[in-house]
Amino acid sequence: MPDLLVEKYERHYNAELFSWSTFITLCIICIIILCPVYIVIYTGNWWNETIIYFEQPNVKYTEDMLIYVTRQENQNAQTFTQEFFSTNVWLNELYPERLNIPMIKFQEHDDNNDGLNDYFKFHIAFPTREGTQLIRNIKIALFFNYEFKINARGTLFTNCLIDIDTPLGASYIKINGYLNLKQKAPISSLTFVQKNNIPDNELFHNNDVAYSFDDIINKYTDKNLNFSTVFEYDKFVIPRRTTRTCVIDIVVNVPSFQKILYKQPSMTKFKFFFVQFMAILIPFLIIGKLLLYYMFKNRICESNFTSDLPKLKKL
C-alpha cells in the first residue's frame, strides 16, 4: 500500500543556561567554527598571498652613460690616474683635466618585431694617451627606463653597472649579460612609478671634492626603492697590446620573461579565505550536528525535550 502521509516529530532539547550541557554544546560549536579557520590559515597557504607575473619589459636606453678608467703609468710605477667620461656636460666640466672622450656606437635590436627591444649593443673605443699606460680597472654605468605595460603598469629608472679589473691591462673587452630586475619585497599595487634622480650641477657644487664612481651612482639612483636591477654578465678580456685604444663591446640583453612579485590586497585574500572556509565548514557542521544529536538522544548530557505537534507533509 502506498504511503499517503508522512508524520514527522521534532524534538527540542533545552537545558539551563549555566549547566554542563550548555557548556559542552558551546564548546562543540566553537570547535566547528575555529577548526576550519585553523586549517585554512596554517596548512601550507591554501591561497596565494603573492602572485607571480611574467612579462617582457619595454626597456629603453636613456642615452646616459658614465665611464671611469683607472690607469697605471707603467708596469713598474705605482702611480695611478683616473679618467672619466659622462654624457652630462656639467659633470665633465667639473674635472676637465681628467676627461677622456671615447668613441661610442649604440644600437638597439628588436628581432621579433614586437615593439620591445630584445638587446642593446654598445661599442666603446677608449683612447690611451700614452702607449706605456696600463688600464687596471674599468667601471661603466648605463642607464635605462624599465617599463611594464601588460600585467603590471609602471616605469623604473634603472642602471646597468659594470666593474672589471684588468691586472694585465686591456686592449679589448667583450661583455655579454642580462639586465634582470630584483625586488626587495612584493609590490602592493600593480601600478607604480619610479622617477629618475639624475643630479644637477647644484648637487656637485664643491669642486675640491673628488667624487668617486660610487658617489655619482648614488646620486643617480635612490637606494631605498623596492626595485633594483642587476646586470649579470660574462666577460672576455684581451691583455694590453701596442694599440693606443681599449675597445669595449657590451651586449645588454633584456629578459623575455621578467618575474614580478605582487602582493594581493586584503579583500582578494579574504575572498579566497571565505570560499575555502565554507568548503571546510560544511563537513564540520554535519559532524557536529550528528555528535550533538547522539549525545542528547542517548542522554549523555542532561537536558529536557519537548515535542511539537506532528507536521504532515505530502509526498
Q: Do residues 74 and 38 both lie within one domain?
A: no
The CA angle 308-313-315, to the nearest 5 degrees, is 150
Rounded to the nearest 10 degrees, how much is the dihedral formed by the CA atoms of 288, 291, 297, 303?
-60
Q: Do residues 18 and 36 both lie within one domain?
A: yes
The alpha carbon dihedral of 281, 283, 289, 291 has a sign of negative
CA distance 37 to 273: 9
Domain boundary among 263, 285, 305: 263
- Does the pLDDT at position 73 exceed 80? no
Residue 160, CA distances (Å) to 118, 223, 281 in order = 15, 14, 53
Q: Do residues 280 and 153 both lie within one domain?
A: no
- Each residue's pLDDT tens digit, 103-161: 999 999 998 888 889 999 999 998 875 555 678 889 999 988 888 877 677 777 888 88
The mean pLDDT of the chain is 78
Q: Do residues 172 and 138 both lie within one domain?
A: yes
At which residue does the C-alpha cell 672589471 appear? 164
pTM for this one? 0.66
Which pLDDT band, with edges at 50, 70 and 90, does 202 fall under? very low
Q: Do residues 135 and 75 both lie within one domain?
A: yes
- Does the pLDDT at position 314 exceed 80? no
pLDDT attached to residue 200: 47
| Grid cell in block for residue 238 | 684581451
Domain count of the chain?
Answer: 2
Nearest residue to 146 (alpha-carbon basis) of 310, 283, 19, 258: 258
Q: Do residues 276 and 226 both lie within one domain?
A: no
Q: Do residues 238 and 194 both lie within one domain?
A: yes
Domain boundary among 222, 248, 263: 263
Q: Which segment of 57-66, 187-196, 199-208, 290-299 scores lowest on mean pLDDT?
A: 199-208
Q: Do residues 101 and 195 both lie within one domain?
A: yes
pLDDT attached to residue 223: 52
With a pLDDT cut of 70, the percent of the chain lying above it is 75
CA distance 279 to 209: 67
Q: Do residues 176 and 285 both lie within one domain?
A: no
Q: Do residues 64 and 213 both lie within one domain?
A: yes
- Does the pLDDT at position 51 exceed 50? yes
pLDDT attached to residue 263: 77
Average pLDDT over residues 208-233: 68
pLDDT attached to residue 312: 47
Q: Do residues 250 and 171 both lie within one domain?
A: yes
CA distance 288 to 208: 81
Q: Do residues 18 and 146 both lie within one domain?
A: no
- Domain hosting residue 132, numbered range: 55-263
Average pLDDT over residues 12-36: 85
Given 3-state DSSP classes, what are the helix, strand and coil percentages for the chain, each rounded to the nearest 5?
20, 40, 35
Average pLDDT over residues 168-197: 76
pLDDT attached to residue 201: 46
